[in-house]
Amino acid sequence: MGNIIFLILVVLSFFGLSKLFAKANIAAWKAFVPIYNFYELSKLLNKPWWWCLIMIVPGVNIIMYGVYGFNTSRAFNKPANNDLILASVLPYIAFLKLGFDPTAKFVGLNKFEIEPSKMVKNWLDPIVFAVIAASIIRGFFIEAFTIPTSSLEKSLMVGDFLFVNKFAYGPKIPQTPLSFPFAHHTLPLTNTTKSYLEWIKLPYFRLPGFGSVKNNDIVVFNYPDGDSVLLNMQDMSYYNYKRYVEHFKKEEDLKYKINQPPSYYRSFAIEHVSNPSNPNIFSGNPLGKIAARPVDKRDHYVKRCVAIAGDVLEIKDGEIYISGQKQEMPANAQHNYLVKCSSRVFGDYTKLENGRPSLSNLALLDKYDIYATEVMVAAEPKDSIVYRLNMPRHVAEEIKKLPNVVSVTREIEKKNEYEFSIFPHSPTFPWNNDNYGPLSIPKKGQTVKIDTSNLCIYQKIMDTYDNGIHKITTKGNQVFYDDQPITSYTFKQDYYFMMGDNRHNSADSRSWGFVPFDHVVGSPFFVWLSVKYQDNNPVSGASFTKSLFKNSKEGKYRWERFLCYVDDGNLHSIKIPFLLAVAAIWGLNKWYTRRKLKQAKS
């Protein structure tokens, strides 16, 4: 409905523009030719002709409409504040109003070269066009991004500030163009207020890119499981939270030897999350409302693409196999290790100021850059103690050499040990983080048989991802698609399986399944700054100013990661070429300025 209303407003504005063209002795029919009409309007306003090209860009063209409205109102001798506000905010109505206003006469913009205010000329115009330019660059070329979680630690690290190349796989046209500039899904300084309106919704469309998603590419994408969120606990998947509610309720019932069917626990979880005042089972805080988010407003995640459309993925004892071929482990991949010690080398279990669990020997953890976020301390016979630590293999080798460390063993989850939080969340597929699959990754045009035994794998593709919202139901062994019985399904797009290099501390496709191609955003290509956060590095990550003269191990700044381009998760420094380029630009500018001064004197 919103799209229809918007289309009507645009047509009305074209009609009003035809009246304005007639007043300025321009053929009225030109007002009804999209883009060309704004080319003519640019000439009439004595503005650059290329302004009309901005009207092609979804989202940005809405801002540009207001710029045209503001200047048109002044050019037709309507510079009053109320006229300018209407023309800037609702230019569609303003064009129509000006067209039928007999007092609106074309006088041009020359009279406003000095008036009405230097602020408009010197500040407002540059700010508006800076926003327009930045929105175009951010939306279609390069977007700044911060690594929010340790999923790819130590390849791309928490605190890495990087740029994402949206042309890597083709930039997407915004599907919700009515949005606050530079905000993603939430307004700045708020936690729950939407930064966008869904009055206008555009269909999915992607411009051509430089290539396609390949195995082992690091990819930025919109989080598929983020189509629904609980506003007061956005750090956890809405669907995963429901599964935890089901699991805990079932565990509680089993204590009293109560055994209910799965449908009972699903209904219980749905009822629990539907009441915003119900307490979060982890923190006790109110859950808050459920919000639905369109694809382009879902959280940005960054993972490694371990399997592409058409692959068969299998994980055996933590090693990935693609179509039967074992894959090389990323150099910085992290795993859980059981570290057996003859003394309390890493200290005792504790909590940091932010409430996060850790171990009390913070200095030792910080030295080896170990984030002890999921610690385990277990006493063993003969006064020994076992820690569970998450770290890369090369760090594990260093830990083995520490005094009083008896052994370091990689922890691997056993085969056929079912985890309810692991996709496809069915006991029929008893998979876990280290033993998973085999799973065929859907490919566009591929047809698979569908029945109640494998529906849990493909249901979200069928009812959400592939072709809008559809109703999937079962009756006996029969599957129904929008009330029509089906025995097979043909995929409408390619899908991918994304994983973090931090193999035991990553919410990835093992948790929520496939990533559709229409969720793919781009590829990280440049890290310009990298800092440690005190949450993860309580010792070295504590101070901004004191770290300025410290090395990367002792201070907050990871100097070696500054100004690096990214290649498959490996960083390559371009500090020297960058500094040389800056010096060359500065030198050329100084030379050009002096040359101009000499020419002026002569």
Cα–Cα–Cα angle for 486, 488, 494, rounded to 5 degrees = 130
Using one digit for the tens of pLDDT, what is the confidence trace for 173-203? Answer: 999 998 988 889 999 888 889 999 988 889 9
Using one digit for the tens of pLDDT, what is the confidence trace for 423-450? Answer: 999 999 999 999 999 999 999 999 999 9
Rounded Cα distance between 423 and 509, Å, is 7
**pLDDT value of residue 320:** 97
Q: How confident is residue 120, by pLDDT bands cut at 50, 70 and 90?
A: low
Give the long-range contacts of residues 130-136, CB within 8 A, separation 24 or more: 131/63, 131/181, 132/54, 132/60, 132/63, 132/64, 132/67, 134/181, 134/182, 135/59, 135/60, 135/63, 135/181, 135/182, 136/54, 136/57, 136/60
**pLDDT value of residue 113:** 56
Handedness of CA 508, 229, 492, 206 (dihedral sign): negative
Rounded Cα distance between 85 and 348, Å, is 63
CB 207 within 8 A of CB 173: yes
**pLDDT value of residue 112:** 62
Looking at the chain, the whole-number percentage of residues with pLDDT higher than 90 is 59
**pLDDT value of residue 58:** 84
Using one digit for the tens of pLDDT, what is the confidence trace for 385-394? Answer: 899 999 999 9
**pLDDT value of residue 594:** 87
Residue type, 359: L
**pLDDT value of residue 153:** 85
CB 297 within 8 A of CB 223: no
Residue type, 293: R
pTM equals 0.87
State phi, psi for 197 to the nearest 5 degrees. -120, 145
Question: Over 70: is that where the pLDDT of 117 sits?
Answer: no
SS3 for 410? strand
Q: Residue 469 corresponds to which tokens in the numbers above? A: 């919202």
Rounded Cα distance between 180 and 135, Å, is 10
Cα–Cα–Cα angle for 376, 377, 378, rounded to 5 degrees = 115
Residues 6 or more apart whose Cβ sits within 8 Å of residue 558: 157, 159, 530, 531, 532, 552
CB 536 within 8 A of CB 158: yes
Q: Residue 502 corresponds to which tokens in the numbers above? A: 């931090």
Question: Over 80: is that where the pLDDT of 119 sits?
Answer: no
Q: How many residues does the chain have?
A: 602
Q: How confident is residue 213, by pLDDT bands cut at 50, 70 and 90?
A: very high
CB 466 within 8 A of CB 204: no
Q: What is the DSSP string of 302-347?
A: EEEEEE-TT-EEEEETTEEEETTEEPPPPTT-EEEEEEEESS-TT-
Whole-number average pLDDT of the chain: 90
H/E run at residue 386: strand 384-392
Q: Average pLDDT of 506-510?
A: 93
CB 156 within 8 A of CB 569: yes
**pLDDT value of residue 452:** 93
CB 217 within 8 A of CB 523: yes
**pLDDT value of residue 116:** 52
| Tokens 């390559």, residue located | 572
**pLDDT value of residue 128:** 79
**pLDDT value of residue 536:** 83
Tell me 557's DSSP state.
B
**pLDDT value of residue 375:** 64
- Kind of pairing between the strands at 488-490 and 484-486: unpaired
Instruction: Give whole-number Cα distances, 252 to 246, 259, 265, 422, in Å.
Output: 10, 10, 11, 21
Q: What CA dihedral angle connects 206, 208, 210 and 212, to 10 degrees?
A: 60
Residues 6 or more apart whose Cβ sits within 8 Å of residue 359: 346, 347, 348, 349, 350, 365, 372, 375, 377, 387
Q: Residue 504 corresponds to which tokens in the numbers above? A: 């035991």
Rounded Cα distance between 205 and 223, Å, is 18
Q: How confident is residue 122, by pLDDT bands cut at 50, 70 and 90?
A: low
- Pick the closest to residue 133 from 223, 195, 57 (CA basis): 57
**pLDDT value of residue 466:** 93
**pLDDT value of residue 121:** 53
Question: Over 70: is that where the pLDDT of 602 sits?
Answer: no
Rounded Cα distance between 173 and 175, Å, is 6
Question: Over 80: is that where the pLDDT of 372 sits?
Answer: no
Q: Residue 151 corresponds to which tokens in the numbers above? A: 């999923």
Using one digit for the tens of pLDDT, what is the confidence trace for 509-544? Answer: 999 999 999 999 999 999 999 999 888 888 888 888
| Tokens 């163009």, residue located | 177
Question: Over 90: is that where the pLDDT of 564 sits?
Answer: yes
Using one digit for the tens of pLDDT, what is the confidence trace for 465-475? Answer: 998 899 999 99
Using one digit for the tens of pLDDT, what is the confidence trace for 586-598? Answer: 989 888 888 888 8
Q: Which range among 321-330, 364-373, 393-402 shows the weakest confidence by mean pLDDT?
A: 364-373
Question: Over 80: is that where the pLDDT of 115 sits?
Answer: no
Helices and strands (H, E) in the chain, number of each type: 15, 26
Find the farthest-apart pair of alpha carbons in the chain and give their distance in angstroms, rounded.
100
Question: Over 80: is that where the pLDDT of 166 sits?
Answer: yes
* Residue 300 bridge partners (DSSP): 222
**pLDDT value of residue 477:** 87
Q: Average pLDDT of 16-41?
A: 93
Using one digit for the tens of pLDDT, what is the confidence trace for 236-263? Answer: 899 999 999 999 999 999 988 888 998 8
